[in-house]
Structure 1
Amino acid sequence: MNVRQARIAGIPLATDLAPLVEIAPQLVLVLGSVKPLTAPGLLEILEEVFPQAGLAGCTTAGEIGTGAVTDSEIVITALHFQPVEVAACGDGSGGHGGFPGGRPAPGPGAGRAGAGPRARAGPGRADQWQRPH
């Protein structure tokens, strides 16, 4: 897994996020105070800069990131998961939940981050993001 993080005051520019983009993240977590996290344009820039990543975010009572604690910024954490091949094996008896004959686990992309619908700021509370209906 590769992880990069940025602390930003205000709306980030694409250049602010370039080091995070370099790892081609599949998941981007955005945590911050209410004011910067709910600022108009934040979600749009994140969707533009990270078009293939799943986005998730929520407000906090303080942000911990890159060696400091703040209470007026957003912390953006980009995660890139390395490919892993998973196979389940059994003894052929079918007992104890084994897979007869060592049948392989589900195919590529199963459970992959970013595979579902994008998170969006919802019409409900301003301090949470929701998936579109």
Structure 2
Amino acid sequence: RLMSFTIQRRLLRASWLPSVLRAARVAVFPDNALAPARRPPTSDEIADIRRECAETIVDTTPEVVRASFFATKDRDLMRDDVATELDLLADAYINKHLIVSVIELLVVRLFPELKPVEGGDAVDRLG
């Protein structure tokens, strides 16, 4: 209650909010313009990014987990395995389903009453 009161009283004042929104807009969009479009990476840059990502994953994984998960001590083989697994995420179809699944999980965790009911059809669930 105290937090809600503080937010309503100090942050959402009608006299203060327009200036804050204007300052935020100027900070995000200087000169009232969008940033230039990002240049898509070349195929060599994509390969470098993937290699660096695989190296980072292997390097940040604890030694005990690496030894049991990869069943080898060869770091190059570990990086190749991680790079192969990361290639699965290059498919747009898989990414779409992954994002939808993550969003659905978040919504169901926040609002458990929206969890799909197993069995029955949609008419039974509504009534």
Normalised-by-shorter TM-score class: under 0.3
Please identify the structure whose Cα radius of gyration is greater: 2
Greater helix share, structure number: 2
Structure 1 length normalisation: TM-score?
A: 0.21
Structure 2 length normalisation: TM-score?
A: 0.22
Greater strand share, structure number: 1
Relative contact order (alpha carbons < 8 A, sep ≥ 6): 1 or 2 greater? Answer: 1
